[in-house]
Amino acid sequence: MQNKPLKHTESFTDNPNYKDFEDKFITKVEEVSGDPFSESTPRHQYEALAELVMEAATKKWAEHNAKLNKMEDRQVYFFSIEFLIGRLLKNYINDLDWNDQVEKTLTHLNLDYTAIQSCENDPALGNGGLGRLMACFLNSSAALGFPAHGNGIRYKYGLFEQKIVNHEQVEVADVWLRDGYPFEVAKPEKAVVVKYYGHVRSIEENGKLHFIHEDYEPVLAVPYDIPVLGYRNDVVNSLRLWSASPVEDFDLTTFNQGHFIKAMQRKSEAESISQILYPSDHGFEGKLLRLKQEYFFVAAGLKRIIRRYKHQHQGSLEGFSNKMCIHINDTHPALCIPEFMRLLMDEEGYEWEEAWAMTVPTMSFTNHTVLPEALETWPITMMETLLPRIYQIIDEINRRFINEMNWEYPEEQARNYHISILKEGNVHMAHLAIIGSHSINGVAELHSKILREETFKDFYAIYPDRFTSVTNGVTQRRFQLSANRPLKTSIEKAIGNTWETPGQMENLKALLPFAEDAAFRQELQHVKRLNKEALAAYIHDTQKILINPDSIFDIQVKRIHEYKRQLLNILHVMFVYNQLRAHPHTDIVPKTYFFAGKAAPSYYYAKEVIRLINTVAEKINNDPAVKDLLKVVFIPNFNVSKAEIIYPAAELSEQISTAGKEASGTGNMKFMMNGALTLGTLDGANIEIAEAVGKDNIFTFGLTAEQVFQYNANHTYRSLDVFEKDPRLQEVINQLVNGFYDANSFQAIYDSLLLHGDAYFVLADFDAYCNIQATASSVYQNQDDWLKKSIINIAHSGMFSADRSIVDYQKRVWKIK
């Protein structure tokens, strides 16, 4: 049962609710441990709290589901191959408004809440921005009382755990389910059979063709549901993750014939579908298993959604496309389109035209990257063999589309070929997604413009009305309110708490006048100092590195990728170090450079960048001459929980991707709402941050997307010319290979910059980057000025709440009033 909100002043003993909660908690701890409470461990306490939370959540969930059954409003299902949800316990407690009673109880019992929270495994069911965005969108939808659910895969192993050994990334399996997971509910009774391989036979009956899929290999998809709680409201949406298992645990026929090994093989083949998350964020591998995964959660998810809809509508699918939205998150779930067609035609008896008329209005598609290596294409032969009926449908969608185009635009033969779903032996998933959806959007203004004008310009010419843009957002409830309690308290003192209401974060603008308030600036400085000390203590505990808390905390945390240019950052650090060595008495502003992020295990270059950062860090951190002036820290195994400690402590937010490459970025928003100033290129959502705060309150630098585009189009960029003119660059680049840092040289990096044309314009932007770094340091020396800028950033961060994104999606994509 939910308690009434309590005032902070109440003491434990005079509050019956606290006492009641404490009793329940103690009983629960004894139930989960089977031992007296006094012998319990944080793990038991965590399990007990989790159970109490789930009891409350599931009760609300059942009530809410009953409401949803009767609801006529539009509902959304996010289909995504990743949901990077992070730890949930603290969030649930916050959503239920249990903070006070939990904290007071634990304090009263002398227990350590942080230790309890850290017993929760952080489910790493995503690579980075794409999966985390889904988690933020679920959180915001529920907070706004809007029925939006998630549909994905319950990977047995999450994204690998990263260790740094001899400066290098080493990957260790992430067995997040080892101790069980208390926040999911298995629903074996709702399992669905997904069919692979086999043949399609067609028969004619009463003048109608029927398609029968035979000799297929069935796999059972079992749903596990995780409740998505609204923020202090009655809403509980669902995140449904599917797990694969064999249809029968033992394939009896095979087994009886004595083929034990074969029977076991079938079992493990089925299970392999939900075994691993592919650990690459912008790469496309074309592996059969991945295609199986893509069809797996699509087929299972759609089946249940249709079944539920029929159940609620007297067995009819009438009105489906007005009430249900299937949202395709990047191309991985694009098979929703042919699978939905299949279900409507083969299982529900609709004609092609009727089915298509229901499909397009139901589907919407968000693109998350313009990197060509991420655009999925599957060999036709693979698709045809694995999913014979789906392939037939794709083929027919394509045939009709191309016919229509040739009819409407007979003069555009070349273009009509170019936009085909099937060409050069491959199925082009983005084309499928665009042709089958009524809405296509990018995730920031610049990104959407690039989609319209470059990546998908041919489609834009045909379907201008389908294209729209929704800038990403993040949930302030996790990354600001909960991660940065001192900040929340200070802001509340200044402007009250209306900005904490879901959808109202723009009320933070009331903070603007406080930029001129010396007392508030001081308060903010104090808050930042606390958070910096907390991060420094964490680094000291875990990595034994001593950090000067007076230094500027300059942070770049995100996946390691060439286009994100961690390399530019570390080359600048190397330059600063050279400067300090040459002029030991230079008066510099002390700085600590933090890095964190994982590289895809097969991405050699990115792993070399990690090795470089760690090698440079070791040398610099052990040089007594630069002690307290310059430090470099690589925090291993970046994940959502670490992010929550890092963002609040940041002063400079490094967002330095090659312009035009970062679709949006969302880390930039998390830093900003915690008062960090952005040091970034005019890329992705950085541009919108710059527009919001004004150019004086952000440090922008470097080539624009247009300039990068021109260089690429005209092949006029020569990295060697830049190198030859800049002695600073010559020194640092030579240090990559001359043994200064490591006898084992960084030849691949060296070659990419000088021999292979520096595709990400690192050298081109080096000078501008050094200058803007120097500017940032000098502004920092005037703390008043810095803090003003910081306050202005926080005040304008409201528009980067995912609550705003969801409202934009409702208006622009799902057309909800």
**218 vs 283 by CB, closer to ligand NBG:** 283
Nearest 5°: the CA angle 478, 479, 480 is: 100
Amino acid type, 665: G
368 sits near ligand NBG (criterion: CB under 6 A)? yes
Per-residue three-class SS string for 375-428: CCEEEHHHHHHHCHHHHHHHHHHHHHHHHHHHHHCCCCHHHHHHCCCEECCEEE
Catalytic one of 658, 666, 681, 700: 666
> Is 559 among the residues known to form the active site?
yes
674 sits near ligand NBG (criterion: CB under 6 A)? no
Among 171, 64, 133, smallest CA distance to 475 is for 133
The answer to whether 202 touches 314, Cβ cutoff 8 Å, is no
124 sits near ligand NBG (criterion: CB under 6 A)? no
Q: Give the whole-angstrom CA distance, residue 360 versus residue 434.
A: 9
The residue from 280, 331, 398, 472 that contacts ligand NBG (CB under 6 A) is 472
Nearest distance from residue 666's CB to ligand NBG, in Å? Answer: 5
367 sits near ligand NBG (criterion: CB under 6 A)? no
Pairing of strands 699-700, 677-680: parallel
Nearest distance from residue 683's CB to ligand NBG, in Å? Answer: 9
Nearest distance from residue 475's CB to ligand NBG, in Å? Answer: 13
Which of these ranges, 129-137, 700-708, 722-730, 778-786, lies near ligand NBG under the rule CB under 6 A?
Answer: 129-137
State phi, psi for 448 to the nearest 5 degrees: -65, -35
**60-to-53, 478, 785 alpha-carbon distances in Å:** 11, 21, 48
The answer to whether 679 touches 772, Cβ cutoff 8 Å, is yes
CB neighbour list of residue 805: distance below 8 Å, 6 or more residues apart: 137, 140, 470, 471, 472, 473
Residues in the chain, overall count: 817
Q: Give the whole-angstrom CA distance, residue 556 versus residue 289.
A: 33
**151 vs 471 by CB, closer to ligand NBG:** 471
**294 vs 330 by CB, closer to ligand NBG:** 330
Which of these ranges, 55-63, 123-131, 461-469, 584-592, lies near ligand NBG under the rule CB under 6 A?
Answer: 123-131
Which of these ranges, 289-297, 303-311, 656-664, 766-774, lies near ligand NBG under the rule CB under 6 A?
Answer: 656-664
Nearest distance from residue 423's CB to ligand NBG, in Å? Answer: 23
Which of these ranges, 456-464, 662-670, 704-712, 788-796, lies near ligand NBG under the rule CB under 6 A?
Answer: 662-670
> What is the H or E stretch that residue 201 is in?
strand 199-205
Nearest distance from residue 194's CB to ligand NBG, in Å? Answer: 25
Nearest distance from residue 599's CB to ligand NBG, in Å? Answer: 14
Q: Give the whole-angstrom CA distance, residue 689 versus residue 798.
A: 11
Catalytic one of 213, 290, 303, 564: 564
Of the chain, the end-to-end C-alpha distance in Å amounts to 33
128 sits near ligand NBG (criterion: CB under 6 A)? yes
CB neighbour list of residue 286: distance below 8 Å, 6 or more residues apart: 377, 378, 379, 382
The residue from 68, 116, 130, 229 that contacts ligand NBG (CB under 6 A) is 130
Position closest to ligand NBG via CB: 129
Nearest distance from residue 355's CB to ligand NBG, in Å? Answer: 30
The residue from 666, 686, 700, 793 that contacts ligand NBG (CB under 6 A) is 666
Nearest distance from residue 663's CB to ligand NBG, in Å? Answer: 4
**374 vs 791 by CB, closer to ligand NBG:** 374
448 sits near ligand NBG (criterion: CB under 6 A)? no
664 sits near ligand NBG (criterion: CB under 6 A)? yes
662 sits near ligand NBG (criterion: CB under 6 A)? yes
**440 vs 547 by CB, closer to ligand NBG:** 440
Q: Give the whole-angstrom CA distance, residue 423 versus residue 406.
A: 16
The three-class DSSP label of residue 501 is coil
> Is 666 among the residues known to form the active site?
yes
334 sits near ligand NBG (criterion: CB under 6 A)? no
93 sits near ligand NBG (criterion: CB under 6 A)? no
Token output for 250: 């033992």
Nearest distance from residue 661's CB to ligand NBG, in Å? Answer: 8
Token output for 722: 């830049």
The rounded Cα 396 to chain-centroid distance in angstroms is 34
- Give alpha helix (H) positions in 273-335: 288-312, 320-323
The rounded Cα 521 to chain-centroid distance in angstroms is 32
> Is 695 among the residues known to form the active site?
no
**CA torsion through residues 286, 636, 484, 510, sign:** negative
Which of these ranges, 212-220, 309-317, 602-610, 664-672, lies near ligand NBG under the rule CB under 6 A?
Answer: 664-672
For the CA atoms of 485, 490, 492, 493, the dihedral, rounded to the nearest 10 degrees, stands at 140
133 sits near ligand NBG (criterion: CB under 6 A)? yes
**293 vs 321 by CB, closer to ligand NBG:** 293
Which residue's entry shows tokens 């059969």?
Answer: 288
DSSP state of 658: P
> Is 564 among the residues known to form the active site?
yes
**CA torsion through residues 716, 719, 720, 721, sign:** positive
Among 774, 770, 754, smallest CA distance to 702 is for 770
- Give alpha helix (H) positions in 98-195: 99-108, 113-117, 129-143
Q: Give the whole-angstrom CA distance, residue 376 versus residue 390.
A: 17
Q: Give the whole-angstrom CA distance, residue 670 versus residue 659.
A: 20
564 sits near ligand NBG (criterion: CB under 6 A)? no
What residues between 266 and 305 interact with ligand NBG by CB under 6 A? 281-282
Amino acid type, 18: Y
443 sits near ligand NBG (criterion: CB under 6 A)? yes
What residues between 489 and 518 interact with ligand NBG by CB under 6 A? none
The three-class DSSP label of residue 12 is coil
665 sits near ligand NBG (criterion: CB under 6 A)? yes
Site size for ligand NBG, by CB under 6 A? 18
**130 vs 192 by CB, closer to ligand NBG:** 130
Catalytic one of 389, 428, 631, 670: 670
Which of these ranges, 491-499, 512-520, 658-666, 709-717, lies near ligand NBG under the rule CB under 6 A?
Answer: 658-666
Catalytic one of 558, 591, 607, 788: 558
The residue from 57, 219, 236, 374 that contacts ligand NBG (CB under 6 A) is 374
Which of these ranges, 124-132, 139-147, 210-218, 783-791, lies near ligand NBG under the rule CB under 6 A?
Answer: 124-132
Nearest distance from residue 429's CB to ligand NBG, in Å? Answer: 13
Active site members: 368, 558-559, 564, 666, 670
**Contact residues for ligand NBG (CB under 6 A)?**
128-130, 133, 281-282, 330, 368-369, 374, 443, 472, 662-666, 684
